[in-house]
Amino acid sequence: MSIIPNLDEMTDEDKLKVLESVQKSIRESKEIQRKKIGENVQAVVSALKKIESDISARFEAVAATIENRVANIKDGQDGAPGVDGRPGRDGKDGRPGRDGKDGKDGLPGRDGVDGQDGISVKSAFLDFDNSLIIELSDGRQINAGEVLPPDIAEKLKVIVNTSTGGVGLPEQAGNSGKFLTTDGTNLSWATAGGGGGGTGDVTGPSSATDNAVARFDSTTGKLIQNSVVTISDTGAVSGVASLGVANYVDFNTSPTVSNAAGRMYWDAAQNTLAVGLTSTLAANVGQTLFARATNAEAVTITKGQAVYAFGATGNRVSVKLANNTGDATSAKTFGLAAEDITAGGTGMIICQGVLDGLDTSAYTAGDSLYLGATNGALTATKPYAPNHLVYIGTVERANAGNGQIYVRVQNGYEMDELHNVSAQNPTNGQILIYNQTTSLWEKANITAGSNITITNGAGSITIASTGGGGGGSGDGGAYAWFLS
């Protein structure tokens, strides 16, 4: 249907009415153009400016046509013919009458009605027939798809409807990294058929970080991306520096989780939290005690071997393989290697707690284990002197590849290491005698009396009589007592 009517078939009054209607439409279009469609809907503003330009061009053409038509309308009606003169003599013609006066000018057109003040654009969306609906702050809605020419309305739909899966607005210039909104603060959606929130994708800038979390910026009043904090597709959160103050944290007591360094999770088997120390090693909170140590041996210390504190390297203790053949290699037994540690390398030593993944097939569950006579070895046979007794732990699971030991090292003691015994550096034949004054058992030698000799040997004391003889009954011979 053509916007411009056929002016040849219209009366002057109808033409004036058309002109008034055109002027009114121009004023309404300009009023719509002046309405601000939100701080961030530059696309709608640009579209309305294009609408104004197209409508103005069309209406100017209509006005020009009307003006041309009006200009071609004849001037006011001719005046009435003058009165004929009296018949002249002998048939002389009378003078011609004068021209009539010009007709009066038409009445001026009325001024347009003033627009309402204080009305702004609240939102813009597409309705069920894909027409642009502009919602004003006073509650009124303007269907731009009906008041605009079809070709202009169709172009506007293309500008606004840029989302593949739903209705959305394109990214605004200067708002890189921000989520797009319809009123500058809130993201609004409309579904085909009208009403309710719809579905659709919000497309961010090409520079956005994958899986970045959106956060509200009170300075700009907008949602922006936070490239530090991310949530993976599986729900893992990273980049969080602080969780603030929480009354408590609940852990899943039946998790499906793989151990990793720095990861904390619930260990259902041990009924406590576990903290990943390495990719293969975790500490059970409140149940396990680990120490990081340097291998001072020239060979690799393997997982499950017993070690003793040898010295220190840098800022950590150094260890060597322990055995029960001497005090130096047994008295400072430290624990078991929790992992293989190369010569000169560092690794974890378990001092107390459960160590699994061992070959304990040579033992029975419940066996007590002691430090063995060879480097790093364990034995279920309790050692006796001269070997040193060091209790290592208890077998919890006997298995060739998944054996388990509860480690709790208890070093044996020398006689002179007891708190109520003073017997350092003893010599052959000395005995312990209690001294009530010092409240200590002390080392001492047996004192020889008259006609008595004492000989102190290695593990023996010989007591002999040295008295004189000559008696008739033969009672003056020598006698000897042996204490061993």
pLDDT at res. 351: 96
Q: Is residue 133 part of a domain?
A: no
Quick: pLDDT tens for 453-482.
888 888 788 888 876 544 444 444 444 444
Do 292 and 408 sit in the same domain of this protein?
A: yes
- Measured between alpha carbons, how far is 32 from 52 in angstroms, rounded to an integer? 9
pTM above threshold 0.85: no
Does residue 346 contact residue 312 with C-beta atoms inside 8 Å? Answer: no
Q: In what order do the strands lie in the sheet with 440-444?
A: 421-422, 440-444, 431-435
What are the two backbone dihedrals, phi and then psi, of residue 437, each rounded to the nearest 5 degrees? -65, -40
User: Do 366 and 458 sit in the same domain of this protein?
Assistant: no
Do 472 and 405 share a structural domain?
A: no
Residue 445 falls inside a structural domain: yes
Residue 96: inside a domain, yes or no? no
pLDDT greater than 80 at residue 19: no
Q: Say yes or no: 363 and 294 in one domain.
A: yes
Whether residue 371 lies inside any domain: the answer is yes
User: Is residue 13 in some structural domain?
Assistant: no
Structural domain tally of the chain?
2
435 within some domain? yes
Over residues 401-413, mean pLDDT: 92
| 385 and 467 inside one domain | no
CA distance 27 to 113: 9
The amino acid at residue 418 is: L
327 and 361 belong to one structural domain: yes
Task: Answer whether residue 214 shows pLDDT above 70.
Answer: yes
**Is 219 a domain residue?**
no
Could you tell me if 295 and 401 lie in one domain? yes
Pair 394, 441 in one domain: no
pLDDT, the chain, mean: 76
- Strand (E) or helix (H) holding 408: strand 403-411
Residue 355 and residue 404 in one domain: yes
Q: Is the pLDDT of residue 431 over 80?
A: yes
Domain that holds residue 341: 288-412
In a domain, 97, yes or no: no
Same domain, 396 and 469: no
Domain CATH code at residue 403: 2.40.300
Instruction: Based on the fold, state whether residues 390 and 479 are members of the same structural domain.
Output: no
pLDDT higher than 90, residue 329: yes
Give the phi and the psi of residue 12 in degrees, each rounded to 5. -60, -40
**Residues listed for the chain:** 484
Q: Which of 4-8, 171-175, 389-393 has the lowest mean pLDDT?
A: 171-175
**What is the pLDDT averaged over residues 203-232?**
77
Of 385, 412, 439, the position where a domain reaches its end is 412
On the question of pLDDT at 207 being above 80, the answer is no
Among 356, 385, 412, the domain boundary falls at 412
380, 412, 444: which is the final residue of a domain?
A: 412
pLDDT tens by residue, 93-107: 767 777 877 877 878
The whole-number average pLDDT for the span 263-267 is 93
Please state, in angstroms and rounded to a whole number, the distance separating the CA atoms of residues 351 and 320. Answer: 15
Q: Are residues 299 and 395 in the same domain?
A: yes
| pLDDT for res 273 | 93
Q: What's the rounded mean pLDDT across residues 165-185?
A: 40
Tokens of 133: 């609906």
Q: Say yes or no to pLDDT of 49 above 50.
A: yes
